[in-house]
Amino acid sequence: MKEVTVRVSKRKRPVRIFLSHSYEDTAVARKIRDLLSQHLSPRVFLHDDLSAGENWRHKLRKELENADVFVALLTPNSIADSWLLQETGCCVGSG
């Protein structure tokens, strides 16, 4: 039997996940974040992470650019939401 070597990545920071979802699906997005956190040590960004006083367009763009993984929570709510299209690529890199 052939021996297999498994290399473990020694990341210095957690995997950054951007979870795109509609406001109406926030509870589901939180459950997904919690499930991921049970099995990994990711940093999951949800819209909940935006504060009222900050420049949210800049924050969203920065989080998208720095994400290792992009997850779109596709539901009837998110498909009807114009932000899903922007977060999937229309606003990244735009002025």
Q: How confident is the model at residue 9 (pLDDT cuts 50, 70, 90)?
A: low
> Residue 16 in contact with residue 42, Cβ under 8 Å?
yes
Ordered by where they begin, the domains of the chain are 16-90 (3.40.50.10140)
Sign of the alpha-carbon dihedral angle for 65, 46, 70, 34: positive
What is the pTM assigned to this prediction?
0.66
Region of residue 38 (left: phi > 0; alpha: psi -120 to 50; beta: else): alpha
pLDDT tens digits for range 10-48: 657 788 888 888 889 989 999 988 888 887 777 776 666
pLDDT tens digits for range 57-88: 777 788 788 888 888 888 888 877 767 766 66
7, exposed or middle or buried, with CB in 10 Å at 0-12, 13-18, 19+? exposed
DSSP state of 9: P
User: Above 50 in pLDDT, residue 95?
Assistant: no
